[in-house]
A = this chain, B = another copy of it.
């Protein structure tokens, strides 16, 4: 069985092999889509940013929409990895919430902040009339809300977060705060500005 698996992983697809890494190309696409939005990004923009010709693009992806959705999925994967790594450093529930807020507030600063969040961007630009985009946004938002709620519950269980407020309500408010941070980040707040929002939000946990 090991042999068969080894053979499978070693197996190459027939024909000329691709000369670029899909994920690296998507990382470039994410930057363009985040800054200019879906409709504001042309295939020419993507060709330049990803260093590919139209032929290679359309062999790797069905159409522009597929490039966008793949970028969205890759974005979620990368951001979730950053978040998970940060959460592992936390000592209790309250610390986890704090670190999560800081991940969002850091992402809202400077160049990355002006570039923006692909989830927020997709929600604002596409969710109203594109079902596929709306589903991914909805799933992403639910996931983030659920995570926040779990962190709050953990903090309430370990005593680091007050239990006098419903965890679900607290999570929804914090969800609103993090997306708001991403919106405010588009016009470039100062680090002090962003961290004051995080600090104020944390007072809710007392």
Q: Which residues of A contact B (CB under 8 A)?
A: 35-40, 114-116, 120-121, 123-125, 127-129, 134, 137-138, 141, 165, 168-170, 172-173, 175-184, 186-187, 193, 196-197, 199-201, 203-204
CB-CB < 8 A to A177: which residues of B?
173, 176-177, 180
A141-B187 contact given A120-B124, A177-B180, A204-B203, CB 8 Å threshold: yes
Which residues on the B side are within 8 Å of A199 (C-beta)?
169
CA A81 – CA B68 in complex, angstroms? 38
| Extra A-B contacts (14), CB below 8 Å, given A134-B187, A176-B180, A180-B180 | A35-B128, A38-B40, A114-B127, A116-B124, A116-B128, A120-B124, A123-B187, A124-B124, A128-B186, A172-B193, A176-B177, A176-B197, A179-B183, A180-B181
Which chain B positions have C-beta within 8 A of A175?
A: 180, 184
The prevalent SS among residues of A at the interface is helix
A15 and B170 CA atoms in complex are apart in Å by 61
